[in-house]
Amino acid sequence: MIKLISPADGITVPVLTDAHRDFIAKNDDGTVDREALGEDWEKRYPWLQEKKDPSRDLTGPAHLLFSWSCGDPYGTMKLEISEAPDFSAPADVTKGRIFQSAESGAYYADVANFRSGTRYYWRVVRGEGNSGVRSFVTEEGPRPIMIPGCANVRDIGGVRSGGGKKIKQGLVYRGSACDANDQEQYKITDDGMRVFAEDLGIKTEVDLRGDVGPSPFEDVDKVSAIKIFFHSYDWAHCDEEGRAGLRSLFEVLSDPGNYPLYIHCQAGADRAGTAIMYLEAVLGMGRDYIVRDYNISSLSVDDQRNFSKNEAVKDLLELFERDYPGLTFPDALVRSLLDAGVTEEQISAVRSFLLE
């Protein structure tokens, strides 16, 4: 007999880690003046205590540990998780291997990459001896993602726009490069390839670095690679190559056949950060959210990102004030797209496909 232990039935579970949650709650900009704060900085910034190791990526999701007991140790057990109560389709989550505790005899499996604001059903299957079914709900909010070998990865969906609509989850992911051989934190592992192509079902890798060499997914039939030479910050707006990058990006985004897709540069912060600013503006997100999402890259393995102190961001804002006086930052981003040659039809197509 299989007896489910945890998670308990009907509970709400987090998708954000404590460090990620703390960063968002304080609306941190990624910069801490330790000298001015003195000893108080450790109390105010517990997330930064975990970031003492600069190679540690804190942008990943919270993990949920599943456990159950089984009186009969023989036979193969399978943990099933689905958004459907009849388990008609597996959830796009990442499950670790099942292991048994020598001390308690219970079985465990570590699971990550849950969608936010979603009810899940779970059970353990072994031949004819299935367990009962339990369910739980994940908290509302942004959805961080774990892809082994990549950093700074998150789903842009799961949040509501200013117009009340919600950005769909599981369609647009942003993150670091998958193939930077000189930096191990940006080199996707075999497990990462499985998570990328199978668990998340990503169909298109959008590399904003241009033609920097072969894609790690060249031999993966399910994944196609698109390379775009994309400029960050003010150069995306004022340079012809930058405007061409915007046109190429929204040509990809306006084609439903490319989804789900993964947008990246090297660290997933500057070029990818700029691209996501434009996309989030199109989807109706306000300035505060766009800024916060940009700053979250400070939790990753690269240098900190501070929207209010980044000189390149200041240059972009000054250009927008000159070219689009009176417009809000999100509205200026959308206007910049139109001036670059992105069409109203493409923008409408992106909105209709990614909003619900």
pLDDT over 60 at 42, yes or no: no
Q: What DSSP line would sit under 132-175, residue for residue?
A: --EEEEEPSS-EE---TT--S-EES-SSB-TTS-BBPSSSEEEE
Task: Provide the residue type at 269 as one letter.
Answer: A
Lowest mean pLDDT among 7-11, 46-50, 146-150, 177-181: 46-50
Mean pLDDT for the stretch of residues 280-305 = 87
Tell me the C-alpha distance between 338 and 111, whole Å.
42
Q: pLDDT > 70: what percent of the chain?
A: 88
pLDDT in tens, 87-120: 999 999 999 999 998 888 899 999 999 999 999 9
Ordered structural domains, the chain, with CATH = 2-15+59-138 (2.60.40.10), 143-354 (3.90.190.10)
Quote the Cα angle for 205-208-210, to 5°.
100
CB 168 within 8 A of CB 204: no
Give the residue carrying structure tokens 């060249």. 218
At 84, the pLDDT band (50, 70, 90 cuts) reads very high
Predicted local distance difference test score (pLDDT) of residue 22: 81
Give this prediction's pTM.
0.91
Tell me the C-alpha distance between 202 and 226, whole Å.
13
Predicted local distance difference test score (pLDDT) of residue 1: 83
pLDDT over 90 at 203, yes or no: yes
Predicted local distance difference test score (pLDDT) of residue 50: 61
